[in-house]
Amino acid sequence: MQSPHSAFFRRIDLCYGKGKEECTSCAKKPQGGSRYALPAFAVPVSFDVLEKHSVCATFFVLGSRVEGREEVLLRMEALGCEIGNHTFSHADLTRLSAEQCKEEIDKTNAEFERALGHPASVVRPPYGFYNAAVRKNVPYPLVLWTVDTNDWRPRNVAELADAVVREAEDGCVILMHDQQSSTAEAMDAIIPALVAKGFRFVTVSELIAATDGACKAVKMPGGG
Ligand SMILES: [Zn+2]
């Protein structure tokens, strides 16, 4: 008999932005000066789906995008979602000095302090890029992912939903972006399908606590 999955976690990577270019996947290509598009409707649509199904997510937010969007962050928290630090300027941390790394993280946390009254306790390095120096210079759990949905581009909703439901496993971290309506539509199918399979949605900090820091997608500070 299959035991219930106890620590499924769904992560949504939120790249706030401006301009019309797409958010290239954080997973693949670093590219200086790229812009991150976030259609105005995208966030409320995603929130509505999370709220409809009473599940949470973790949103990794750029510090440079907090100003003027404080209400959005407050709604995230009101829904039980976690807000993670995605650096201030979407920098490739592996190219920065210790001091610059610290500034990217600290400036972002200062914005969260201002908007929410507390800093973030987890960091997602842009593009998933990190090395030994980044781990030393950024003394927070570094959150990566185990399922990459490539949903930053428009995707067929049924295909996207099927892929996520098929790839989900206990303790997984699913990378999604908040800029395509196909993501929100797929979520509306993915969430009940995974709940029916016994998965439970938790924030990344809950996942870290549930796995005692042994989650595959998370590099703990000071860890090997
Ligand atoms: Zn990103």
pLDDT (tens digit per residue) in 83-121: 999 999 999 999 999 999 999 999 999 999 999 999 999
Of the given ranges (18-32, 51-65, 92-106, 176-190), which has the lowest mean pLDDT?
Answer: 18-32
Q: Which amino acid is at 165?
A: V
Q: Where are the beta strands (DSSP E) in the chain?
A: 9-13, 58-61, 82-85, 142-143, 147-148, 173-177, 218-219
Quick: pLDDT tens for 114-150.
Answer: 999 999 999 999 989 999 999 999 999 999 988 888 8
pLDDT at 116: 96
30 C-alpha to ligand 1 centroid (Å)? 10
Q: Average of pLDDT values for 45-56?
A: 85
Quick: pLDDT tens for 7-25.
Answer: 344 555 554 443 333 333 3
Does residue 46 carry a pLDDT above 80?
no
pLDDT at 44: 61
24 C-alpha to ligand 1 centroid (Å)? 8
147 C-alpha to ligand 1 centroid (Å)? 15
Reduced to 3 states, what is the DSSP secondary structure of residue 100? helix
213 C-alpha to ligand 1 centroid (Å)? 23
